Amino acid sequence: MITGKNCIAGDFSAKGSIEFKTMDPKLNIENPTTFVEVTKEEIEEAVSSAWDAFKAYRKVSGKQRATFLNAIADEIQALDQELIDTYTTESGLPEGRAIGERGRTMNQLRSFAQLVETEDWRGNTFDAAQPDRKPLPKDDLRKTMIPLGPVAVFGASNFPLAYSTAGGDTASALAAGCPVIVKSHPMHAGTSELVASAIVKAAEKTGMPKGVFSSINGGVQAGVDLVSHPKVKAVGFTGSITGGRALFDIASKREEPIPVFAEMGSINPVIITPDAISKRGKDIAKTYAGSITLGTGQFCTNPGLLLTVKNENTQDFINELAKETIALDPQCMLHPNIKSGYDKNEADVTSQSGVQVVGKVDEELEPNYAASVVATVSGSEFLANPKLHQEVFGPFSLVVQCKDDAELLQIIEGLEGQLTGTLIAEENGTLDLMELVDALQNRVGRIIYNGVPTGVEVCPSMQHGGPYPASTDSRFTAVGVHAIKRWVRPISYQSFPQTLLPEYLKG
């Protein structure tokens, strides 16, 4: 049963007086549970317990941490239909998506469990002593990775399970040996509480220290207090550029600055060559209509910007794309605030000089359902107007018609950092593909050939993170097992006796 309380070091607590409710966006009504926002005292308790837990948890063996992570996955499964129903009523997303995302969340937990079963992930290096080396002897040196300390995780609005309470950030931090304090996303506080209860049960069953996990409900101030707390040592965030940047700035200005791994906005440019359009324009239009509207466009990898070089086929392709896009059934957005943000940003872009709306769903829609939009603009207008470069979070895409290859390259080179970039092309076409790849790879974290950016495979070779503002540190990924690297730091042991070395550095 959902209590509406905060989960502080394994206990459910509601000392505060500020209350809120989540929304059912499909019915456009509030859900019944009343949630209580965390107090400063409860934040202090959560962080202090995490700090105490860290002293023990960092020494818990990889095998035991793996048992803990697998137990979390089992407990999430055991939440059964209550979790699925809470997820769908708090997000407006369909049951199939809820079940799929639950599977992905459990798989992520299990893949981090498998990773830390052995110590290989630390990439330990050993340099044997050379006492007789001339002119100076060399000491025994061993380098490994150790956890940073308590991590604050901000749950994402658009992934109530896979990037929230037990999502990729939490799973990777716990795998690394870091306790976690989650600030649940206020749009799905019930889903978060259920998952928090699963983590608490798993921690109890596997004998983990009490403060290893907490989850708090709250607004902006709770997030600020958490990131400012001296015992919090790193932050994971998924959401808006405004939110991520604000937290990054707070973390940088602390007496002890800490890393913030924020995954933020992206318009995911897709370059479609004229040759590809003339050869298979209809297929590309159909595929892209599906990608633009997938999940009501509420994915960080949504293709918000299509770039091409204008010729006699371009307008037909854009008309086809618009036709296919608006033919798909409109879907509900996550929350009235996300819907109003979509309407505002879409209007903001489509009202700019030179922008033409080619297709927009114009039927009467239920509240919180989004009208998909395809618009177009010339390359020169796009270059001249930074407003056209902003993310429109929802089922929207802007097609930019460049006058020639040089203008296309200029646009690519001037783009802000992106999570993904896609090239739709024919290998023996008229454009210099290597030139496009060179320009694109400099702006993105993942480059796709003849595919769509939506659908992020969870595997070691996935890079999910790109140059700012796609993320705050493009050297790391938020998806796949390498995400663990965000929560550890290197340390060298010099001339250490075997008895004082960690088990995995002995020998």
Tell me the catalytic residues.
Answer: 263, 300
Q: Which has the closest alpha carbon to 50: 12, 5, 8?
A: 8
How near is the Cβ of 32 to ligand NAP at its closest, in Å? 20
How near is the Cβ of 107 to ligand NAP at its closest, in Å? 20
Candidate residues 240, 287, 352, 385; the one interacting with ligand NAP per rule CB under 6 A: 240
Strand blocks (E) in 129-191? 141-147, 151-154, 180-183
How near is the Cβ of 393 to ligand NAP at its closest, in Å? 3
Candidate residues 94, 100, 103, 243; the one interacting with ligand NAP per rule CB under 6 A: 243
DSSP letter at 369? B
Structure tokens at 71: 């137990």
DSSP letter at 264? -
CA angle 112, 113, 116 (to 5 degrees): 85
Q: How many helices (H) and strands (E) does the chain have?
A: 14, 21
Based on the shown chain and the rule CB under 6 A, indicate whether residue 91 belongs to the binding site for ligand NAP.
no
Dist. CA 160–CA 153, nearest whole Å: 13
3-class DSSP string for 44-55: HHHHHHHHHHHH
Based on the shown chain and the rule CB under 6 A, indicate whether residue 219 belongs to the binding site for ligand NAP.
yes
How near is the Cβ of 392 to ligand NAP at its closest, in Å? 8
Based on the shown chain and the rule CB under 6 A, indicate whether residue 266 belongs to the binding site for ligand NAP.
yes
Encoded amino acid at 294, one letter: L
Based on the shown chain and the rule CB under 6 A, indicate whether residue 25 belongs to the binding site for ligand NAP.
no
Based on the shown chain and the rule CB under 6 A, indicate whether residue 165 belongs to the binding site for ligand NAP.
no
Dist. CA 140–CA 124, nearest whole Å: 14
CB atoms within 10 A of CB 413: 12
How near is the Cβ of 265 to ligand NAP at its closest, in Å? 5
- Select 57 or 163, whichever has its Cβ closest to ligand NAP: 163
How near is the Cβ of 298 to ligand NAP at its closest, in Å? 7
Sign of the torsion angle spanned by Cα atoms 97, 101, 107, 111? positive
Dist. CA 63–CA 65, nearest whole Å: 5
Dist. CA 394–CA 396, nearest whole Å: 6
Based on the shown chain and the rule CB under 6 A, indicate whether residue 156 belongs to the binding site for ligand NAP.
yes
- Select 164 or 401, whichever has its Cβ closest to ligand NAP: 164
Contacting residues for 63 by C-beta, under 8 A, at least 6 apart: 116, 117
Candidate residues 336, 341, 429, 451; the one interacting with ligand NAP per rule CB under 6 A: 341
How near is the Cβ of 37 to ligand NAP at its closest, in Å? 9
- Are the CB atoms for 38 and 44 separated by under 8 Å? no
Stretch that binds ligand NAP, among 58-66, 202-210, 235-243, 364-372 (CB under 6 A): 235-243
Based on the shown chain and the rule CB under 6 A, indicate whether residue 223 belongs to the binding site for ligand NAP.
yes
Q: Which has the closest alpha carbon to 477: 240, 270, 263, 166?
A: 263
Candidate residues 224, 365, 383, 458; the one interacting with ligand NAP per rule CB under 6 A: 224
Based on the shown chain and the rule CB under 6 A, indicate whether residue 261 belongs to the binding site for ligand NAP.
no
- Select 57 or 299, whichever has its Cβ closest to ligand NAP: 299
Q: Going residue by residue from 287 to 306, which x/- string records binding to ligand NAP, judged by CB under 6 A?
A: -------------x------
How near is the Cβ of 264 to ligand NAP at its closest, in Å? 6
Contacting residues for 183 by C-beta, under 8 A, at least 6 apart: 152, 153, 154, 155, 215, 216, 218, 222, 223, 226
- Select 88 or 215, whichever has its Cβ closest to ligand NAP: 215
Structure tokens at 431: 């454009």
- Select 379 or 417, whichever has its Cβ closest to ligand NAP: 417
Contacting residues for 247 by C-beta, under 8 A, at least 6 apart: 154, 223, 224, 227, 235, 237, 260, 262
Candidate residues 39, 67, 70, 158; the one interacting with ligand NAP per rule CB under 6 A: 158
Dist. CA 341–CA 239, nearest whole Å: 13
Distance in angstroms between the alpha carbons of the first and the last residue of the chain: 50
- Are the CB atoms for 161 and 106 separated by under 8 Å? no
Site for ligand NAP in 167-186 (CB under 6 A): 183, 185-186
Stretch that binds ligand NAP, among 64-72, 242-250, 379-387, 432-440 (CB under 6 A): 242-250
Candidate residues 54, 261, 393, 487; the one interacting with ligand NAP per rule CB under 6 A: 393
What is the binding site for ligand NAP (CB under 6 A)? Answer: 154, 156-158, 183, 185-186, 219-220, 223-224, 238-240, 243, 246-247, 264-266, 300, 338, 341, 391, 393
